[in-house]
Chains A and B, each alone.
Chain A
Amino acid sequence: LFLFAVVMAAILLFTMVFFTIMFSDLECDYINPIDLCNKLNQFVLPEMMAHAFITFIFLINGSWIAFIINAPLVAYNINKVQNNKHMYDATEIFRTLGQHKKECFAKLGFYLISFFYYLYRMIVALINES
């Protein structure tokens, strides 16, 4: 189980790195906002789905700690979807660019920490098995 979680966390981590690189490209004029939004919007929903899926699996598996760590982020994502703010809007993106970047960095840090945590749990589980 935790192996799967580690893999998923790695994927989410890479996604966040991709987002961050795209944002810095926008600032340096390598990409225009329309293309940026088209590319990023493709990945926003799958990322949220993947994260929610992992959290759900933790829940049914009974790993309460992992679940509780991830729950606030899921709640935040659901809030965004309900307010229709999860998609990036080409016209507003320059105004809110700072906020988006901070959010990306925060998620990056969070996924990194959770990656290492799952790794640790996986190793513990493997040790316990053997």
Chain B
Amino acid sequence: MAPPVPAQYNQQYTQPQQSSIAALTNQFSNMGVGGAHLIPVHLIGMPPNVKDLDDSPPKINLPPNTSVTPSDKANCDPSYKRSTLNAIPATSSLLSKSRLPLGLIITPYRSLKEGDEPVPVISDTIIARCRRCRTYINPFVTFAEGGQKWKCNMCFLSNDVPSQFDWDIQTNQQTDRWKRAELNHAVVEFVAPTEYMVRPPQPPVYLFVIDVSYPAIQSGAVATAARTILESLDRIPNEENRTKIGFITVDTSLHFYSLNSNASVPQMLVVSDLEDVFLPQPDDLLVNLTESRAVVESLLRSLGDMFKDTQIVGNALGSALLAGFKLISPIGGKIVVLQSSLPNINPGALKAREDPKALGTPKESALLQSADPFYKKFAVDCSRSQVCVDMFLLGSQYSDVATLGCCPRYTGGQTYFYPAFNAGRSEDALKFAHEFAEFLASPIALEAVMRVRASKGIRMTAFHGNFFVRQTDLLALPNVSRDHSYTIEVGIEENITTPTVCFQTAVLHTTCFGERRIRVLTLALPVTNSISELFASADQIAITTLLANKAVERSLSSKLEDARDALTNKMIDILGVYKSALTSSQSGASPQLQICDNLKLLPLLSLGLLKHVGLRASSQIPTDLRSYAMCLLTTMPSQLLIPYLHPRFYSLHNMPQEVGTYGSEGTIMPEPLNLSSEKLERHGAYLLEDGQNIFIWIGRQVSPQLCMDLLDVRSYEEIRAGKVSLPQLDNAFSQRVNAIIGKTREMRRGVYYPHLYIVKEDGDPSLRLWFLSHIIEDRTDTVMSYPQWLAHLKDKVNISFL
């Protein structure tokens, strides 16, 4: 009796002391509960540290034991799904007070490079879902009643654990349920049983609609495309030999090709009735790739020569699309459009409405809208039949990207734009061939729908990306392309009472080898009541992605100026709230601008967004380029988007010795520099890349040795500026630079193959201006430099939060 009591007494005495000391030290070291650090950083006067752009997002501090297993994969990897705030505010008033945007950036179908783990697949079709809210079982549920029931973490309903959870049917043994993939990994793929299918899984279908009018043949687009398709036939996903392929060529009439596998040559059938399109043959227009491989190859070989002498300048894209739709709508699939001229025959005729006088004025925003409702309506019909449209626009003149881009936008496809394409230039042909081949080779997911579920009290408010919104939160994607990201804005409806919140995204899709699968991505985040923790867990890259999407949407629904103003105001709001809520100078003017450490590059990134081709206030940007930039801004995943907004800038002439050589993790890249022209030395050579273009800037006083090593010319004057491919010379410098460029081209996920431009310091002024427009910390005619931008923000913050 006596011994236990003193022991208890001892414990009681020491524990409160320890906990109070621990609490004190906690308070001293942290500024927020839960371990989120808020480190203030001064913005004015210090150049931003661009290396920090590669940092991972703030750590998600979940309370312990939230996840059922201690696996470190239990929470979602940021490259698949990331949230703008890694701690969710408990009330919507806290969220609106902080002015931070809340949203999710989802890239469900991320391409995997070597070294990335594949997504675990659960092939026994035991899918445990909550009875009430239909959430899939995930690592954050709680098990009750000794493992007989599981409690959903979204609606807190107790569900029965399926009996086969512990029993492996195939080997007829007990299995450890804690080893099951869906309890250990946040990103899993279930194989779906027949209840999830409306019809048997569809095979991949590729229908090529090729423009063969005079401009297309002249620029060599048709020949290059035919050759690329021929070479990529083996890479098109065709694992079960079910892939179907078909061709339609268009000028002023439609040409269909009968590709019967028994015939040795393809037969061309011409249909000139454009108003009321019909299919000339009921079958053999869309054939199985494996069976008719020989006929398809002979067609592709002769496609370039077939139309060599055409002089027809018309193009009836609308009718071709309708005919193609009729052909593949029973099955669904992909329509790949290779367009080189403006369609000028009804339906869907477009006028060259580009007006150089309207650029830079408020009327420019009208040019960014779709001109003809035909394409939008067509896209909606396509989405219903699970048909996806991808546009490759290879025009040498105005191609009305704004209108034609509607088709891919609402059907889950993508627009690819090659301004002034000319296959005679080897760089153009190489870029198109590479991107087209990568595009054909990428495994796509078919007839997909995507839904995001969240815990009680949270609602998805707006969706951005290439899809069609079928119901309030159901996104229909006829095809899920690789590396497309979808941005979803999130709102808080009721106050959240639980300590954590879960977001679960489910993509129900058919793989290209005919299996119906469900990819589930689960993200759990802690809930906070303190504004400092909110700021400390904000992810600046995700916030930038969300703001980019919103800016594009704003400029399409109202005007470009509104989008820019909204972006500026958002930055002012965020900085102002930080100042008034979290710094010592609560109100009143202050000479310094402060933000927390994890958001310190946000002003730089937002300046990059404002100066970006898509949104910049300038009267010299053609509408096509702007529309294309907007298409890219809305679909690029964060990994590609950040270099697109803030290009990587390296100096080549004073690289350390080991840069450019093959290191332990691949080619060692040089240190990125700040994007300011004071880094441009007279004798230097610099490399700037943004994922779409690579520029090499050669200073005026560059040493002849460098010219010789890099470009095989004797002096600066002999360097040819413009689009080039770098020669592969024998010396170390050239090899290292080529290695760096090679790594740049393949280090990010995505199909894009950047062009290489050489810019001489006193060369072609338009090329120089284009290069300099990427140096976002500098001032140009109409937009501010980075220090000016900070000063502008500080003034506005001081005024509005006085």
Contact = CB atoms under 8 A, between A and B. Distances in A.
Contact of A94 (B376, B380, B472): B472
- Size bracket, chain B contacts: 10 to 19
Contacts of A90: 380, 468
Interface in B384-411: 384, 410
Contacts of A27: 472
Given A34-B380, A34-B384, A91 B471 contact: no
A18 B316 CA distance: 40
B376 A33 contact: no
A106 to B, nearest CB: 22
B472 A91 contact: no
B554 to A, nearest CB: 12
B462 interface: yes
B470 interface: yes
A32 B471 contact: yes
B384 A33 contact: no
A91 B410 contact: yes
Contacts of B471: 26, 29, 32-33
Interface in B450-492: 462-463, 468-472, 474
B469 A94 contact: yes
A89 B470 contact: no
Contact of B380 (A29, A91, A95): A91
Nearest to B470: A32
Contacts of B468: 90-91
Interface in B664-722: none
Interface in A83-114: 89-91, 94-95
A129 B447 CA distance: 68
A89 to B, nearest CB: 7
B459 to A, nearest CB: 12
Contacts of B376: 89, 91
A39 to B, nearest CB: 15
Nearest to A37: B380
B376 to A, nearest CB: 6
Interface string A33-54: 1100000000000000000000
A94 to B, nearest CB: 5
Contacts of B474: 29
Nearest to A87: B373
A91 B377 CA distance: 9
A48 B474 CA distance: 32
Contacts of B470: 32-33
A98 to B, nearest CB: 10
B462 A95 contact: yes
A91 B469 contact: yes
A5 to B, nearest CB: 36
B450 to A, nearest CB: 14
Contacts of B384: 34
A111 to B, nearest CB: 27
A32 B475 CA distance: 12
A101 to B, nearest CB: 13
A21 to B, nearest CB: 16
A26 B471 CA distance: 7
Nearest to B553: A95
A90 B410 CA distance: 10
Contacts of A89: 376
Q: A-B pairs with the 5 shortest C-beta distances? A: A94-B469, A29-B471, A90-B380, A91-B410, A32-B470
8 contacts: A26-B471, A29-B474, A32-B470, A34-B384, A89-B376, A90-B468, A91-B410, A91-B468
Given A33-B470, A91-B410, A95-B462, 18 more contacts: A26-B471, A27-B472, A29-B472, A29-B474, A32-B470, A32-B471, A33-B469, A33-B471, A34-B380, A89-B376, A90-B380, A91-B376, A91-B380, A91-B468, A91-B469, A94-B463, A94-B469, A94-B472
